[in-house]
Amino acid sequence: MNKTIALFLLFTTLLSAEIITPIPDVKPFDKAKVALGKKLFFDTNFSKDRTVSCASCHSDFGTDRRALSIGVENKKGIIHSSTVFNAVNNYKQFYNGRAANLNEQIDGPIHTDYEMGISDQDVENNLNTSKEYKATFKKVYNQVPSYKLFKDAIVAFEETLLTPNSRFDRFLKGEDSLTQLEKDGFNSFKEHGCAACHNGVNVGGNSMQMIGSVIEYPYIEGQQDLYALTKKEMDKNVFRVPSLRNINKTAPYFHDASASTLEEVVIKMSYYNLGTILEDKETEAIIAFLKTLDGDIPKTWSEDVK
């Protein structure tokens, strides 16, 4: 089936349903485990040269303001770091969906030589030579530290990194209102077909789609798209659709960090994926709508977990 037709059919189906759903509140969690996971997430000792932590590439609203993150030995990454905020709601992890969940995702940056570059065994050695970590793992898990439990604790922390209470979510719940410009933006977002890919609780993150499905988008050899996994030509420039949650806070944008403003994002996506050149007023309205998706910074991120 032609991709444009498929997107249109998906879009018309979505029009009959609620295309965006509010982010739920954080569920009750094990505070000791989450506190441990947060400490591990921010600890640079779990990298080859002890200079990089998970937070090094996910520090500002869960993402990286640099186009490419810097890993151990000052090595550059090959794709822009996506946010860990609300990542638990993504149906797969990484741009090409190569990890099924957050637990699998951790293996990528931990082991990749230009990110943290450390082995399972070295993680365990670092944990077990620390009296503090040994005592904490004993308290939380009643076990000696292991790589498996190391990942479990980090996942527990990441699962709390939700950003509820955006103005748009409150609007959906009938607790707040939108300006006319914001409403116009949401209507344009739906009418032009943006909602065909950006829908659900994360306003994205729940499907794999081609960037440049209508007008061909520049291809970067060696990039981490779906083609890197399948080697099928049809999967070139196919990526997991990014979440639009907090997009106002997470520049630069796209896998190649080629857009630095929301205006660039809206114009480029309208052109490459919809074959549309928007009027300036429509672009302004859609940007106004996108800004209503800014949610609260997770408390477990900004405050001590007690």
What is the spatial distance between Cα 305 and Cα 31, in angstroms, rounded to a whole number? Answer: 6
Amino acid identity of 48?
A: K
159 neighbors 29 (Cβ within 8 angstroms): yes
Neighbouring residues of 75: CB distance < 8 A, sequence distance ≥ 6: 113, 114, 115
- Is 115 one of the catalytic residues? yes
Correct CATH for 31-158 of 3.40.50.300, 1.10.760.10, 3.40.50.150, 3.40.640.10: 1.10.760.10
* φ, ψ for residue 211, nearest 5 deg: -85, 120
Please indicate whether the domains covering 3-24+164-291 and 31-158 agree at the CATH topology level. yes
Q: 18, 104, 115, 182: which one is catalytic?
A: 115
Q: How many CB atoms lie within 10 A of CB 110?
A: 22
pLDDT in tens, the chain (306 residues): 455 544 554 544 444 346 999 999 899 999 999 999 999 999 999 999 999 999 999 989 999 999 999 999 999 999 999 999 999 999 999 999 999 999 999 999 999 999 999 999 999 999 999 999 999 999 999 999 999 999 999 999 999 999 999 999 999 999 999 999 999 999 999 999 999 999 999 999 999 999 999 999 999 999 999 999 999 999 999 999 999 999 999 999 999 999 999 999 999 999 999 999 999 999 999 999 999 999 999 999 999 998
Give the pLDDT confidence score for residue 306 in this predicted structure.
Answer: 85
What is the spatial distance between Cα 156 and Cα 102, in angstroms, rounded to a whole number? Answer: 10
The gap from C-alpha 274 to its chain's centroid, in whole angstroms, comes to 23
Residue with token string 């919809």: 274
Query: Of 50, 42, 90, 107, nearest to 204 (Cα)?
Result: 90
Q: Is domain 3-24+164-291 annotated with CATH 1.10.760.10?
A: yes
The domain locations on the chain are 3-24+164-291, 31-158
